[in-house]
């Protein structure tokens, strides 16, 4: 079979393979440095990443070798703007306090967001139950007392909630003593000046507004990453060498187009831009808790953000080259039967958070002949990615695809060696690496082309 077309799907691992500091810990740590930095001062690369460099972080050490780090800085004006936003943002303050809690990846980060929201829902459910015992009271003092006791009770029962409530100003911030907690009056409903209930809608509105601000902070960080310029033109990985290679990016950075002058890109989760407008998708996959659904807290959900930010681009199912080839494989004519489209995934964990996209990919090859091959780049070992695919698609599907040769795992290109080590050559799929004679059979000695 010949390769009709090549498609590349990139995730955050693609940026990391290019030694750009886009890990979750890079972002949180750098923002902590900015928050503590003196005002009216621009911050250099070495200042921002000093701790990583001191600990010989592999990404940052290689980054210094490949990029013009002496030109990199966050200007004094941006530092001051960021400092103000960081200090006032409950989400950043919460995650900053959780820096040693085992949140290593962006998947972990998304899971932690969901856990935090569910914790708030637990609090509200228990408050609602207790409300029934005091909602008919007419004494305002008693109502306020009960509100105080509720938060005290919740703090004792769910200690982690204290930090959440305090950082989002749901409890009065000046009260440090946990035995004397009082709900912020902004989040209490009143009836004829009598406190009667917690204002759930306002709590989630506050959380969503601060979430949008947090996305803006993250977008500013990615804009900074977009200023990293290589010391010399980077060698082109083989996967990008095919003319008109289509790229689907789950990243927010412009790495592919900046470093390789490639423009055939769809940013499935949006792209960081420099106009202070949130156009990126960052959040959880769905609302599971009943309270979140009732309060229509869709501002945290990726598919809602896609619609709002107009980033709900069609994936492979909307690619006419693939869909038309898939249809041809069902036909009786020979057109297209010897052609296949190779789809490379570079920098994806293939976690369940992207299960919709994964299921869409495995929805092809339903005819008597395959229309696509999936080639998954791995770093170190393919075991985790294979396990994730089995979890999402089931053993039988993955086993069949591998036996048929439709699914292949391949060590990802080493960008450092490709640019710094003479003689290193990265690889494509087994089919693409074969010579034409191997693909079509040996040609007779006297054949004329």
Does a structural domain hold residue 63? no
199 and 243 share one domain: no
428 and 331 share one domain: yes
Considering only CA atoms, which of 303, 255, 249 is closest in space to residue 22? 255
Residue with tokens 């003593």: 177
3-state SS, the chain, equals CEEEEEEEEECHHHHHHCCCCCCHHHHHHHHHHHHHCCCCCCEEHHHHCHHHHHCCCHHHHHHHHHECHHHCEECHHHHHHHHHHHHCCHHHHHHHHCCCCCCCCHHHHHHHHHHHHHHHHHHHHHHHHHHCCCCCCCCHHHHHHHHHHHHHHHHHHCHHHHHHHHHCCCECCCCCCHHHCCECHHHEEEECCEEEEECHHHHHHHHHHHHHHHHHHHHHHHHHHCCCCECCCCCCCHHHCCCCCEEEECCCCCHHHHHHCCCCEEECCECCCCCCCCCECCCECCCCCHHHHHCCCHHHEHHHHHHHCCCCCCCHHHCHHHHHHHHHCCCCCCCCCCEEEEEEEECCCCCHHHHHHHHHHCCCCCCCCCCEEEEEEECCCCHHHHHHHHHHHCHHHHHHHHHHCCEEEEECCCHHHHHHCCCCCCCCCHHHHCCHHHHHCCCCCCCCC
377 and 431 share one domain: yes
Long-range Cβ pairs for the range 151-157 (8 Å, 24+): 151/181, 151/182, 151/183, 152/178, 152/179, 152/180, 152/181, 153/126, 154/123, 154/126, 154/127, 155/181, 157/126
243 and 374 share one domain: yes
Does a structural domain hold residue 361? yes
Q: Is the pLDDT of residue 279 over 50?
A: yes
- The arithmetic mean of pLDDT across residues 63-70, rounded, is 96
Q: Is the pLDDT of residue 357 over 80?
A: yes
245 and 199 share one domain: no
10 and 147 share one domain: no
Does a structural domain hold residue 24? no
Does a structural domain hold residue 87? no
Query: At a CB cut-off of 8 Å and minimum separation 6, what does 444 contact?
Result: none
- The arithmetic mean of pLDDT across residues 42-58, rounded, is 95
Does a structural domain hold residue 345? yes
In this prediction, residue 274 carries a pLDDT of: 67
254 and 387 share one domain: yes
More confident residue, 46 or 193: 46
345 and 433 share one domain: yes
Residue 181 — pLDDT band, cuts 50, 70, 90?
low
Describe the crossing of helices 383-393 and 395-404 by its angle, rounded to 10 degrees: 120
Q: Is the pLDDT of residue 159 over 80?
A: no
342-356 per-position pLDDT tens digit: 999 999 999 888 899
238 and 178 share one domain: no
Does a structural domain hold residue 386? yes
Q: Is the pLDDT of residue 289 over 80?
A: yes
247 and 368 share one domain: yes
Residue 158 — pLDDT band, cuts 50, 70, 90?
low
373 and 263 share one domain: yes
In this prediction, residue 443 carries a pLDDT of: 41
In this prediction, residue 164 carries a pLDDT of: 73
Does a structural domain hold residue 45? no
Containing domain of residue 391, as a range? 1-18+234-268+313-437
331 and 427 share one domain: yes
Long-range Cβ pairs for the range 382-388 (8 Å, 24+): 382/409, 384/349, 385/348, 385/349, 385/350, 385/409, 388/349, 388/350, 388/351, 388/352
Does a structural domain hold residue 212? no
- Tell me, yes or no, if the pTM score tops 0.75: yes
CA distances in angstroms from 308 to 203, 299, 312, listed in the order given: 22, 9, 9
Share of the chain above pLDDT 70, in %: 82
Residue with tokens 């977008």: 219
Query: How many domains would you assign to the chain?
Result: 2
Between CA 416 and CA 133 the distance in angstroms is: 66
């Amino acid at each position: 079979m010949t390769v009709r077309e090549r498609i590349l799907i990139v995730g955050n691992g693609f940026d990391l393979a290019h030694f750009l500091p886009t890990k979750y810990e890079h972002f949180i740590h750098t923002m902590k440095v900015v928050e503590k930095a003196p005002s009216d001062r621009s911050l250099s690369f070495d200042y921002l990443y000093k701790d990583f460099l001191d600990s010989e972080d592999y990404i940052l050490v290689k980054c210094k070798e490949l990029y013009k780090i002496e030109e990199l800085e966050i200007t004094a004006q941006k530092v001051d703007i960021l400092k103000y936003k960081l200090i006032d943002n409950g989400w950043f303050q919460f995650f900053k306090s959780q820096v040693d809690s085992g949140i290593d990846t962006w998947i972990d980060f998304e899971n932690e967001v969901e856990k935090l929201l569910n914790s708030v829902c637990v609090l509200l459910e228990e408050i609602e139950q207790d409300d029934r015992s005091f909602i008919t009271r007419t004494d305002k003092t008693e109502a306020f007392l009960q509100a105080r006791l509720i938060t005290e009770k919740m703090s004792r029962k769910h200690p982690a909630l204290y930090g959440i409530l305090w950082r989002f100003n749901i409890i009065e911030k000046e009260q440090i003593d946990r035995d004397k907690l009082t709900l912020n009056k902004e989040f209490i409903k009143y009836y004829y000046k009598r406190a009667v209930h917690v204002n759930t809608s306002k709590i989630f509105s506050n959380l969503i507004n601060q979430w949008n601000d947090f996305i803006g902070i993250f977008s500013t960080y990615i804009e900074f990453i977009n200023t990293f310029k290589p010391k010399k033109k980077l060698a082109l990985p083989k996967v990008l060498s095919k003319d008109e290679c289509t790229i689907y990016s789950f990243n927010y950075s412009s790495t592919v187009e900046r470093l390789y002058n490639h423009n055939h890109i769809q940013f499935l989760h949006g792209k960081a831009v420099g106009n202070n407008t949130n156009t990126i998708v960052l959040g959880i996959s769905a609302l599971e808790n009943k309270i979140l659904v009732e309060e229509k807290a869709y501002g945290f959900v990726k598919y809602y953000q896609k619609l709002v930010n107009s980033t709900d681009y069609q994936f492979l199912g909307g690619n006419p080259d693939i869909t038309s080839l898939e249809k041809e494989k069902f036909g009786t004519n020979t057109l297209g039967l010897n052609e296949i489209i190779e789809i490379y995934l570079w920098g994806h964990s293939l976690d369940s958070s992207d299960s919709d996209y994964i299921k869409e990919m495995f929805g092809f090859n339903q005819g008597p002949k395959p229309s696509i091959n999936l080639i998954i780049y791995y770093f170190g070992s393919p075991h985790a990615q294979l396990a994730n695919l089995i979890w999402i698609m089931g053993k039988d599907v993955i086993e069949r695809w591998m036996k048929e040769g439709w699914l292949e795992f391949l060590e990802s290109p080493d960008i450092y060696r490709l640019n710094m080590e003479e003689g290193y050559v990265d690889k494509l799929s087994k089919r693409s690496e074969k010579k034409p004679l191997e693909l079509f059979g040996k040609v007779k000695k006297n054949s004329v082309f």
